[in-house]
Structure 1
């Protein structure tokens, strides 16, 4: 069976769904190929279920502080199995919704794993073994990424982030390997749900690429919550019996750490396995597919968006890349995605968010004397009565010569919500004087961004 389409999209994740629906809205005949559930990493095993686990784990802190506000609470017990089951049910609901959105948009969902048979051909193999041949005037690769396991003995005994959402219950203790946002977020989730957490970090600080002072504030909060963070520690091997969940992580220094589970949060890579890119002549650079500013690969008619390009691996970036592709090719509205100013957040506890240059990046660009750093560090009013919890950090990085705000960073409750609004101002070129002229909303944490002294 052979079918011809204007556009074939490989991967029904954030970028692929956005591109397919936008292209179809312009009248293109579109097929989207997916061998897994519809929704991709973000919906199925990433942002959405992880954020639900963050909310669930945060109740530990809320319940602990309740007495200072006059609430008398008896014995509290958490059932991790209920939380995990409810999260999976919500993911199932969203999966069904996204399938419906494709149908409404007029996009044909082709179930199975696709591989190139040529520069215009895709062979799709379904789970029942049936094979379908598709031909497309254009093909968009949007297959995303997958967790990467370190090459150490026993690595197959550890879990990756995908596995965390399939657990039926949680062990009493876990080792988390990694220093990035996935490692830090899951370390906080697990600790909030009562798990004893040891986090192994190869380097000397958390969250490489984020503002260093802000990542230090996150570390303080994590350690205050009882997470044992061990820097300059890397796993050398994992041993144990998978069934009872009795593991030992041996570090490169020879230390043996016993635990009930190991999370290997050691990075992600583009999911190129099985695509047969060589049949189409698509070039690979390292582990990624390089593209130009219009998402074009080296082969005419073949494009790529999202994590498979390994530029900025964030859901909103993939969505905008997919829509920009469709607007340009099918909507006669040519545009390119601006990757120069992308806000990012870490849903750790405390939460971190930032937009623009970090202090380190600003110094590299402008020199130490070329910038001014304005900061506020305080205990938020929400913690005034319990008198516990991490202090909030707010930072503005300002260019001395122009007064323009180069970056804004925050660690604390609702940091992502607050930085989202700051991103609008910074994207418009706001200066410190513009922030100062803005009337504060009092009492709020966010007001500190517009009341910082010169």
Structure 2
């Protein structure tokens, strides 16, 4: 016999958790179904553990710079095994924390993997094989995405990003395949932890979709740090006994790259396997579930949020989509998520962060004559005594007709923290004159945004 709820949420990641707790706060009886740990990609195998690894990897350069500030250290060594273990322990703590948040909110956590039996019924199979049948007038799909493994011989010998967090140790050398933010972030992490990194890039530049000048600044810094970037190279096969081990990546041009491990950072796709969407009549477009501005699928009563819709695959976006769904459906406070101005960051080394239009996008929209590009490039004060790079880049894109700042990018330390504040101003329609009127906070990197010549 089916158990009845007001809302069933499939997936206890960022979007699903936000929707479930918000709906429960309005008095809805909510069940959230999860076959893995609670927290989703961001908490368990993405943003959080990755950022902790970034912090850990940065100590290599901090320790190298210490003598210039009068700190004389003895011999130091990197112990990635300890870092990886500590990160996993923190993830476990956060998993338990999120379970507690669900209990406090009055949301029932149903352990197991869910699949549709009909448009209002979900069947959940637990790890022990037991099955529960849940029924609700409204069902929210928030199962997120999974790393995509390329279809090449030996692809199973490589790691995807999820698996990297589970390693007990790191090899001496690795090949990273990909040019996106996951590839660039892990290349920096591995390099900082003492791994020799070669990164294979299919195209002619990194970080497609970001400001080209900013991505070039990241590229220059990565190469200066010792990361070997090979453009116009795609893997054709991976050979070897097992991973980790003695592996060889052969590119489509026939060049071979021997290494101790391979990271396949070749994109992510919505995790639709096993959902039996056809059993509910939910339409799929390519690899994703299309939705309208209210998060509705083609089936009345079935909604989707987050990476499974493959629009803007960022944690804060999924969270806002989940809350907007709950506000509209259960809180009688209808609202839509604005996807037009979303700040984003790459935790490469150095960081890249931006909000609004890139120079390329702005040029296409307003024309070269309709824009003024303001930029500053300099060595930050934190590197004055070590006297090393990389230089930071700050960039404002201004529409001439209105004077509005339509794009803002930065490459350098604390870029994400700084752009977060710039996003508020740009979201309010700030002009270059508004930036110019703002008194600078000196000495800081961010002051350059308000002191650039008009």
- Normalised by the length of structure 1, the TM-score is 1.00
The answer for the alignment partner of 2:370 in structure 1 is 370
Separation in structure 1 between the aligned mates of residue 120 and residue 253 of structure 2, nearest angstrom:
52
| Counterpart secondary structure, 1:258 | strand
| Counterpart secondary structure, 2:185 | helix
The answer for the alignment partner of 2:229 in structure 1 is 229
The answer for the alignment partner of 2:117 in structure 1 is 117
Structure 2 residue 129 is matched with structure 1 residue 138: no
Separation in structure 1 between the aligned mates of residue 352 and residue 322 of structure 2, nearest angstrom:
27
Deviations 1:370-402 (A, max 9, x none): 010000000000000001120000000000011
The answer for the alignment partner of 1:387 in structure 2 is 387
The answer for the alignment partner of 1:252 in structure 2 is 252
The answer for the alignment partner of 1:24 in structure 2 is 24
The answer for the alignment partner of 2:337 in structure 1 is 337
| Counterpart secondary structure, 2:449 | helix
Q: Is the Cα contact below 8 Å between 2:33 and 2:113 reproduced in 1?
A: yes
Deviations 1:107-139 (A, max 9, x none): 000000000000000000000000000001100
Structure 2 residue 422 is matched with structure 1 residue 422: yes
Separation in structure 2 between the aligned mates of residue 278 and residue 251 of structure 1, nearest angstrom:
38
| Counterpart secondary structure, 2:139 | strand
Separation in structure 2 between the aligned mates of residue 23 and residue 366 of structure 1, nearest angstrom:
42
Residue 242 of structure 1 and its aligned partner are, at CA, apart by 1.1
| Counterpart secondary structure, 2:403 | coil
Alignment of 1:113-192 (within 5 A): 113-192=113-192
- Normalised by the length of structure 2, the TM-score is 1.00
Residue 243 of structure 1 and its aligned partner are, at CA, apart by 5.7
The answer for the alignment partner of 1:82 in structure 2 is 82
The answer for the alignment partner of 1:95 in structure 2 is 95
Separation in structure 1 between the aligned mates of residue 192 and residue 10 of structure 2, nearest angstrom:
37
The answer for the alignment partner of 2:279 in structure 1 is 279
Q: Is the Cα contact below 8 Å between 2:157 and 2:243 reproduced in 1?
A: no
The answer for the alignment partner of 1:354 in structure 2 is 354
The answer for the alignment partner of 1:298 in structure 2 is 298
| Counterpart secondary structure, 1:200 | strand
Deviations 1:214-253 (A, max 9, x none): 0000000000000000000010000001166110000111
Structure 1 segments of 4+ aligned residues over 4 angstroms from their partners: none
The answer for the alignment partner of 1:265 in structure 2 is 265
Separation in structure 2 between the aligned mates of residue 2 and residue 335 of structure 1, nearest angstrom:
32
The answer for the alignment partner of 1:397 in structure 2 is 397
Alignment of 1:319-330 (within 5 A): 319-330=319-330
The answer for the alignment partner of 2:52 in structure 1 is 52
The answer for the alignment partner of 2:411 in structure 1 is 411
The answer for the alignment partner of 1:317 in structure 2 is 317
| Counterpart secondary structure, 1:199 | strand
Structure 2 residue 12 is matched with structure 1 residue 12: yes
Deviations 1:22-62 (A, max 9, x none): 00000000000000000000000000000000000000010
Structure 2 residue 203 is matched with structure 1 residue 203: yes
The answer for the alignment partner of 2:445 in structure 1 is 445
Structure 2 residue 193 is matched with structure 1 residue 193: yes
Separation in structure 2 between the aligned mates of residue 251 and residue 281 of structure 1, nearest angstrom:
42
Separation in structure 2 between the aligned mates of residue 290 and residue 52 of structure 1, nearest angstrom:
33
Separation in structure 1 between the aligned mates of residue 297 and residue 254 of structure 2, nearest angstrom:
46
Separation in structure 2 between the aligned mates of residue 242 and residue 104 of structure 1, nearest angstrom:
45
Separation in structure 2 between the aligned mates of residue 389 and residue 271 of structure 1, nearest angstrom:
41
Separation in structure 2 between the aligned mates of residue 129 and residue 203 of structure 1, nearest angstrom:
46
The answer for the alignment partner of 1:432 in structure 2 is 432
The answer for the alignment partner of 2:308 in structure 1 is 308
Cα RMSD (Å) of the superposition? 0.6
Separation in structure 1 between the aligned mates of residue 257 and residue 430 of structure 2, nearest angstrom:
50
Q: How many residues align?
A: 454
